[in-house]
Amino acid sequence: MWDAVVVGGGLAGWIAGIRAAQRGKKVLLVTEGVGTLFYFSGIFDYGDVERLCRLPKHPYSLFKAQVIAQGKRFIQELCPEYVTKDVPQSALTVLGTVRQGDLMPRSMVLPNRQEQGKFVLLVPEGLKDFFPEIVADNLAREFPGWQVSVKRIQVAAFAEWTRLGKGVTSIDYASIWRSEEGQSALTREIEEIQRGSQAVGEASSKLVVVLPSLVREYFDSSRSKPCKHEFSLPVLEMSSFVPSPHGRYFAEYLKHRFIDLGGELMIGARAVGINGESSSESRVKACQELVVDSMGKSLYLKGKEFILATGGLLGGGIKVGIARKTIREGVFDLPLFVPEKWSEPQFLAPQPFAQIGVETDELMCPLDPAGGQVVWENVHVVGRMLAHWDPWTQRCGGGVSVTSGYAAAELI
Amino acid sequence: MDSRDELATRLDACQKCSVCTAQCPVAKVNPNFMGPKGLGPDLERFRMGQILPAETALDDCSNCKTCEMTCPSGVKITAMILEARRAANKAPRQNTLGLKLRLRGYVLGRAEYLGKLGVIWPAMANQVLKVKLVRRALDEALSISKNGPLPPYGKPLEVRVDKGSQSGISAGKWVVYFPGCYTRYNEGDTGRVIIKVLEHVGYKTIVPDFHCCGLPLEANGQFEKAHKNGLYNLELMRPYLEAGVPIITSCTSCGLTLKEDYPKLRTTSAQLIGAQSYDLFEFLGQLYEKAELPLDFREVKAAYGYHPPCHLKAQGIGTPALRILRLIPGVKIRNLDAGCCGLSGSYGFKAEKYDKAMKIGRTLFEAINVGAGRGDFQVMMTECGVCKVQIQHGTGLPTEHPVCILAKAYRLIN
Amino acid sequence: MRQIDTQVVVIGGGATGVGILRDLSLRGIPALLLEQGDLAHGTSSRFHGLLHSGGRYAVKDDKAAQECIEENKILKHIAAHCIEDTSGWFVFLKEDDPNYLQLWIKGCAQAGILVEEVPVEEAFRLEPLLTRQATRVFEVPDATVDGFKLLWANVKSAEKFGGTFRTYCKVQSLWLEEGQVVGVYAEDLSTGEILQVRSKIVVNAAGPWSSEIVAMSGLDVHIQKDKGALLVFNQRMFNRVINRLRPPGDGDIFVPHETVTIFGTTSHWVELPDDHQVDDQDVKYLIATGRDLVEELDQHRIVRAFAGIRPLYESVDALDHEGRGVSRNFALIDHEKKDGVGGLVSIVGGKLTTYRLMAEKVTDWVAAKLKVPTKCRTAEEPLQNDPAPEVWDKARRLLGAAAADKMLERLNEQAGAVVETLARQPLLGQFVCECEMVTQAEVLHALQDPAVHSLDDLRRQTRLGMGTCQGTYCTYRATPMLQEAFGSWERTVKEYQILLGERWRGITPVLWGEQLRESELARALFLNVLGFEAAESEE
């Protein structure tokens, strides 16, 4: 019997699992795959929290203000390189355009535009899905008055790839930068850049090196040899195309934090249902067991409390059948809020279907939208499974997932 | 063999997110490898129109199943690649492996028979296999790497079919043990420990004369023989399956094969094997849940690093060994969960794949060395015989099957 | 304004128009084809993809059936690389009408369509998705045709013989002198330039727009615009065309097309020639009907829906100036005879399968008018030459068997140039579109074609974005090539939005299941990872 069974290994699920394990609970996390974490840009978006709080039934309205702040601090404890300010910070997308974010690695925060300087864009040879000319152009446009130069670099490890005409993914380059070979190569390059600028009498204090595919965060000293973090010049990280190295290393890091705290991970298992019964006093049901399809058989996992983090439409937690005749939450068969209108003709506009999900009370227990009563007393719904929000157009994906996951873990 | 329908449904679930390829251990080290997305769901849509890749392109897949575990959509990627291999094997233009590699496949797929040979005089066989000249000859003739950690043979595990058990079986106190070729021919001692432990927890063990589970055969393109073995093994198990006797595996690859592939065979007992097949610790875990597991442990003051084998993860049962072993006072286990060891059955023994296999294992080796360096543990622990061999080869750290710790706690061994 | 002199202007870059251009060029008659959008902008890119054996018409119209099977054979000879000779089945279900079955068998025999019965058990083995309610199955020489490839092959061939064509060139008015048509005025939509084209004959092959063209001179040709919706399934569900053996109706054909399956269709009359919006009703109806042939239809992913307009021509009084004697299925309207306006001829009706025949009839008429004695050769002369075996081998070595085979299927004659590029710059062998295995080299090659004006045009040429993900990833991967070709970041972003908008129009009618998931992923990618601005909602 576990204290908490977390269903779904996405951002909200992992945060809930780690926090609950940290609090000394016996936690099992069941997940079919790795979720959308591999699409993580490295940046947690919280959005305009005050405004979103006031939208009817937005998930932010479920939490007290301090929980949101606690969630942010939790991330910073997990990942000490993350910084946040009262105002949004800026970082580079993979296209070299500027985007805002709330909680991001120090190394991604863009320098002040007003301070004129020079960017040196380091371009690893054969880096896939990265377009140096476009990035350099966009960078120059976003930072008027700044110089932008492009320098190509090679590492011996990928010579064979280049020779064969194969691109190297950003994740593979990221892993090299985290190794001795990569660090030496980078140190050499950066020193060379510094020497070069000194030779022409430039003030090297103005230089900012930009290196796509570099990820210096999520370092696990119990499993990896020491990694160099600082170079003689400031080195800026940028978001990558997907699957992203920030996402991949962050997902790995969360998994390791979880199991190191004693959590058990069951991967490759799909939750398909539950066994529960009503408690005697209230007529609210309490869930006893999670039914999971593992290879060849079903498993019955007993838990005191359950956290549903199955990721909504994208995660597969909500399935919409052909011609929208059936719309179902796949584990508890929870009643769902389904918007009247389904889609907008403009692709990038707020899409009504994105609001689909489970409505909950302040304890994040699922409600029946028809009557307003709690359906399960020991089940908490987090992340994308919550109704009435859109992570992409409201720019609050990270914020809602982290906060809801953290809040649920506090309730175990 | 997968039905087209089952694969087809899962194919539709592919979102082209490419996370499988991002996690694929082979794609990281082999620039020529198209990756699981490319060879699996991408190519499957073309394979339906009879456009096939060459066998050599598909042969680089190590069958580790990391892609399937990673996929957020439940796509059966490895199964698709295996289907493609079956098709390419038969198609004349794609049939590109060549005589030497086909012969190698024949030999390596039949590890069982090599085992039977090796245990006739294990000491001699092991000596011969240590001779550099012999290894070089194998490399030249069959492309079996001269550097690969070929596991030594030992006293084989005996077949135990209690005649009395046939008639007097109740589902209660019997189990059938499927040891797998590694335990049977290379590490019989571990098999004997397992039988002792099972007896201690109240179960008598039957060990029928099984053939190889079939996985090395499939991995080496010997599909027909794998199929035959499956039918044969299922037939041996039939009376026990019908009587409700659990089938226990201690090697995670055999365990996966029994749970995933055997239920698809066209024979009556195939429907029963999935639900009645258990990894050893999964079985012990069930006993624990029912409060039937003896908890008479003595203290075992020892620290271990644990490596969950890829094929254990693929079974979707979590890490049952840890659940049980953490009940033993004094035992400290660090679950490293640091990726694939690289050997992947017979994969890393192949001459052209050995270096890549060692590269694949690098992250794991590093995690082990860092952990050992910090003094967290000096011994490793893992269920899979091949992972064990690779870990010892890559780090030098001694590695045990988790059952040994339990046996120590039960005072069955020192 | 630019002045161009030619003998014949062909209005409309659909199958009929390009067929006419080619036939004229082969006979040495200088001609210019003007198309308002991209080639196959209209019906020719919005149809089933079926190369009829004629089986569908065997009962209702045996002459049409005969025309179909004859052209079917000819096209398989001259356009082999655009056609996949899949063969087709007519499937008779338990509930269907046995009388019709008898009529059908007789009708096929009469029309000369080869029919072979397939034992039902064998049929189920060969096509596991076929409904078990099928009681009899008959094989016919149906095939599938890639409309776009076919049209491109025609214009490329025409160019070799001196024909010219311009896309994104919209005819604004007919040029009349003394009540006779002497040419056209057209606008080059990409530059705004006006073209004044003088000709002896203007051929109106504008399909659904035929009425609009002749109306420019106050004339009338009544085209019934009949909209048909089609669904695209993510996989190749069948390896053959599957027809329902019953009187031709809606939702009774499944056509495998490369890696997808096209299923349809429906029929209702609309007003506008470019009303391509798919109605929800049509989608629901198609799904319900489709279940008759595929019991497990609900399990299969639909990637998008699209619609095309069939330009039907029904003349009340079939007078000879409408050339009814030529065929019961298409009409050649000599406007001098009908309306007293010389220099203009319209070709209306017909189906893609018989495009070459229609083109032959028109060209015969034009050649007679211009006193050119050369006879038609289009039935004998192949559209393209197959690439040499060395090209195949080299491609396979560079790209691997599967990707090479796909590329050569797409490019055919043009493949040689792309293979050379790949040999010189191996990095260009990386895929832009992984779903359809389209390499960077191929995209760059397509961008060199002056007729490619947008990402959407590129999509038709290379199949970029036509696969499962419907452009989610390849749009990004094509960015540097776009920017290079079209010049500015603003333009690139606009192209993204246009292409995504185009894909979205096709996805919204089928927005559920796995395609809904894919759409959510695409939103995450563009709005979050790439940082695009959210658009305003329409309320």
Q: pLDDT tens for residues A288-302? A: 999 999 998 999 999
Compare all CA atoms of chain B with the CA of A298 and give the residue at the minimum distance. B275
Q: What's the CA gap between C161 and C175, in Å, rounded?
A: 27
For residue C523, give the nearest of A98, A242, A351 by CB distance. A351
Contacts with B, A 165-184, CB within 8 Å: 166, 169, 171-172, 175
d(CA A273, CA C81): 51
Residues of C in contact with A166 (CB under 8 A): 426-427, 430
- From the list A93, A98, A344, which residue is nearest C530 (CB)? A93
Please name the member of A28, A222, A269 whose beta carbon is closest to the beta carbon of B371.
A222
User: What pLDDT was estimated at residue B96?
Assistant: 78
What is chain B's Cα-based Rg? 21
CA geometry: angle B43, B44, B47, nearest 5 deg:
85
State the helix-helix crossing angle for B77-90 and B4-13, rounded to 10 degrees: 130
In this prediction, what percent of chain C has a pLDDT beyond 90?
62
| Band of residue B169 on the pLDDT scale cut at 50, 70, 90 | low
Name the closest residue on chain A to residue C524, using Cα atoms.
Answer: A392
Q: Nearest by CB to B12, from C301, C437, C469: name it.
A: C301
Cα angle: B37, vertex C402, C453; to 5 degrees = 85
| CA C313/CA C349 separation, integer angstroms | 5
Cross-chain CB nearest to B69 (options A169, A221, A268): A268
- C-alpha dihedral sign at A220, A221, A224, A227: positive
Chain B residues whose CB is inside 8 A of the C467 CB are 45
Write out the residue limits of the CATH 3.40.50 domain(s) in chain B: 297-409
What's the first-to-final CA gap in chain C, in angstroms? Answer: 43
C-beta neighbour count of C493 within 10 angstroms: 18
Please say if the pLDDT value at position C326 is more than 80: no
For the C80-142+224-308 domain, the top CATH level (class) is alpha beta
Q: Does B57 contact C296 at a Cβ distance shorter than 8 Å?
A: no
Rounded alpha-carbon distances, angstroms, from residue A226 to A222, C227, C477 = 10, 66, 35
Contact A238, A210 (CB under 8 A): yes
For B308-395, where are the E strands, in sequence order?
331-335, 379-381
Q: Do B54 and C437 touch (CB under 8 A)?
A: no
Helices (H) and strands (E) in chain A, counts: 10, 15
The whole-number pLDDT of residue A353 equals 97
Bridge-partner residues for A127, per DSSP? A168
Q: What is the mean pLDDT of chain A?
A: 93
E runs forming strands in A309-369: 318-320, 327-329
Average pLDDT rounded to a whole number, residues C296-307: 94
DSSP A1: -
According to DSSP, the β-strands at C431-433 and C438-439 are antiparallel
**B134-152 pLDDT tens trace:** 999 999 999 999 999 999 9
The segment(s) of chain B belonging to CATH 1.10.1060.10 are: 4-90
Average pLDDT of the segment spanning A304-310? 97
Secondary structure in 3-state letters for A31-51: ECCCHHHHHCCCCECCCCHHH
Query: How many residue pairs bridge chain B and chain C with CB atoms within 8 Å of each other?
Result: 78
Length of chain C: 539
pLDDT at C460: 82
Determine whether the interchain pair A324/C512 forms a contact, defined as Cβ–Cβ distance below 8 Å.
yes
Q: Report yes or no: B22 at the A interface, CB cutoff 8 Å.
A: yes
Q: How many other CB atoms are there within 10 angstroms of residue B50's CB atom?
A: 11
What is residue A12's predicted lDDT score, i.e. its pLDDT?
A: 97
H or E element: which one contains C124?
helix C120-126
Torsion region of C258: left, alpha or beta (phi above 0 gives left; psi -120 to 50 gives alpha):
left
For residue A279, the distance in angstroms to the closest alpha carbon of chain B comes to 23
Write the pLDDT tens digit of every residue in B60-79.
999 999 999 999 998 999 98
Q: For residues B369-392, b (16+ Cβ closer than 10 Å) or e, as one string?
A: bbbbeeebbeebbbbbbbbbbbbe
CB A176 within 8 A of CB A155: yes
Q: Could you give the C-alpha distances from A137 to A95, A215, B184, C487, C491, in angstroms and in order?
A: 10, 23, 64, 12, 14
Distance in angstroms (rounded) separating the CA atoms of residues A79 and A341: 40
Phi and psi at residue C208, to the nearest 5°: -60, -20
Number of alpha carbons in the 13 Å side-chain half-sphere of residue A280: 0
In this prediction, residue B63 carries a pLDDT of 93
Q: Span B335-344, mean pLDDT?
A: 96
Local structure of B3: helix, strand or coil: coil
Q: Do B11 and C402 touch (CB under 8 A)?
A: no
Q: Which residue of B has its CA nearest to C235?
A: B45
CB A243 to CB B338 under 8 A? no
**Cross-chain residue pair A322–C287, CB shorter than 8 Å:** yes
Q: 3-state SS string over B127-196?
A: HHHHCHHHHHHHHHHHCECCCCCCCCCCCCCCCECCHHHHHCCCCCCEEEEECHHHHHHHCHHHHHHHHH
Of A161, A221, A295, the CB nearest to B31: A161
The span from the CA of C309 to the CA of C312, in Å, is 9
The hierarchical CATH code for the domain B4-90 is: 1.10.1060.10
User: Among A33-47, B47-61, B233-247, B300-314, whose mean pLDDT is lowest?
Assistant: B47-61
Q: Where are the domains of chain A?
A: 2-82+250-410, 112-233
Among partner residues A38, A264, A296, which is closest to B259 by beta-carbon distance? A296
In C, minimum Cα distance to B6 occurs at C299
State ipTM.
Answer: 0.95
Q: What is the mean pLDDT of chain C?
A: 90
In a mutational test of the C interface, the residue from A97, A320, A347, A401 whose CB has the highest number of chain C CBs within 10 Å is A347
pLDDT in tens, A394-408: 999 999 999 999 999
B76 φψ region: left (φ > 0), alpha (ψ -120 to 50), beta (else): beta
Annotate C204-229 with DSSP letters as a single string: E--GGGHHHHHHTTT----EEEEEEE
Mean pLDDT of B30-36: 92
Fold observed for domain A2-82+250-410: FAD/NAD(P)-binding domain (3.50.50)
Give pLDDT, residue C407: 87
Percent of chain C with pLDDT over 70: 97
Average pLDDT over residues C309-334: 69
What per-residue confidence (pLDDT) applies to B246? 95
Residues carrying CATH 1.20.1050.140, chain B: 163-287
**Residues in chain B, overall count:** 414
Give dist(CA C360, CA A400) in Å, integer. Answer: 66
In tens, the pLDDT along B221-261 reads 889 999 999 999 999 999 999 999 999 999 999 999 999 99
Reply yes or no on whether the pLDDT at A332 is more than 80: yes
CA-to-CA distance for A230 and A369, rounded, in angstroms? 53
Rounded to the nearest angstrom, the minimum Cα separation between B154 and chain A is 32
Determine the Cα–Cα distance for residues A175 and B181; give it in Å rounded to an integer.
36
Angle formed by the axes of helices A11-22 and A245-260, nearest 10°: 30
pLDDT per position as a tens digit, C99-153: 999 999 999 999 999 999 999 999 999 999 999 999 999 999 999 999 888 999 9
Asked if the model's pLDDT at residue A255 lies above 60, the reply is yes
Task: Identify all chain A residues contacting C509, using CB atoms and an 8 Å cutoff.
Answer: none
Query: Phi/psi class of residue A201: alpha, beta or left (left: φ > 0; alpha: ψ in -120 to 50)?
Result: left
- Note the pLDDT of residue B167: 57
Cα–Cα distance for residue pair C447/C367, rounded to 1 Å: 36
Cβ distance of A321 and C512 shorter than 8 Å: yes
Band (pLDDT 50/70/90 cuts) for residue C160 is very high
pLDDT tens digit sequence for C492-511: 898 888 888 989 999 999 99
Give residue-wise pLDDT tens across range C228-246.
999 999 999 999 999 999 9
Q: Give the N- to C-terminal CA distance of chain A in Å, as an integer.
A: 14
**Predicted pLDDT at A299:** 95
- Specify the range with the lowest mean pLDDT, choosing from B93-107, B111-125, B159-173, B373-387: B159-173
Looking at residue A236, its pLDDT comes to 96
How far is CA C375 from each of CA A137, B102, B170, C361, rounded to the nearest angstrom?
Answer: 58, 59, 90, 11
Q: Which residues from chain C sit within 8 angstroms of residue A93, using beta carbons?
A: 529-531
What was the pLDDT predicted at B2? 44
Contacts A167 to B, Cβ<8 Å: none
- For residue C321, pLDDT beyond 60: no
- In 3D space, the residue among C386, C382, C448 whose CA is nearest the CA of residue C412 turns out to be C386
Q: Using CB atoms, pick whichever of B22, B317, B318 lies closest to residue A248.
A: B22
- Predicted pLDDT at B172: 60
Q: What is the CATH number of domain B297-409?
A: 3.40.50
B196 pLDDT above the threshold of 90: yes
Give residue limits of the domains in chain C: 2-43+148-222+314-369, 80-142+224-308, 430-529
| Homologous superfamily of the C2-43+148-222+314-369 domain (CATH) | FAD/NAD(P)-binding domain (3.50.50.60)
On chain B, the residues whose CB falls within 8 A of the CB of C521 are 15, 17
Distance of CA B264 to the CA centre of its chain: 18
All residues at 6 or more sequence positions from A1 whose CB lies less than 8 Å from its CB, including other chains: A302, A303, A304
Q: Are A241 and C500 inside 8 Å of each other by CB?
A: no
A280 — pLDDT class (breaks 50, 70, 90): low
Chain B residues touching A27 at Cβ < 8 A: none
- Give the Cα separation of A168 and C520 in Å (integer): 27
- What pLDDT was estimated at residue C328? 62
Q: Which of A172-176, B1-5, B193-197 has the lowest mean pLDDT?
A: B1-5
Q: At what angle do helices B132-142 and B122-130 cross, to 10 degrees?
A: 80
CB contact under 8 A, C401 and B45: no
DSSP B350: B
The phi and psi torsions of C246 (rounded to 5 degrees) equal -160, 170
In the predicted model, what is the mean pLDDT of residues A265-270? Answer: 94
Contact criterion met (CB < 8 Å) for B72 and A172: no
CB of C140 within 8 A of CB of C114?
yes
Q: What is the model's pLDDT at position C538?
A: 64
Residue in chain C lying closest to A127 (CA): C427
pLDDT in tens, C411-462: 888 889 999 999 998 888 888 988 888 999 999 898 888 888 887 888 888 8
CATH dotted code for B163-287 = 1.20.1050.140
pLDDT band per the 50, 70, 90 thresholds, residue B291: very high
A314 with C528: Cβ contact below 8 A: no
Sign of CA dihedral C409, C410, C413, C416: negative
* pLDDT for the residue numbered A7: 97
CA distance A319 to chain C (A): 7
- Rounded to 5 degrees, φ, ψ at B383 are -80, -25
Put simply, the answer to whether C401 touches B37 (Cβ < 8 Å) is no
pLDDT of C322 > 60? The answer is no
Query: Chain B, 99-118: which have a CB under 8 Å from a chain C CB?
Result: none
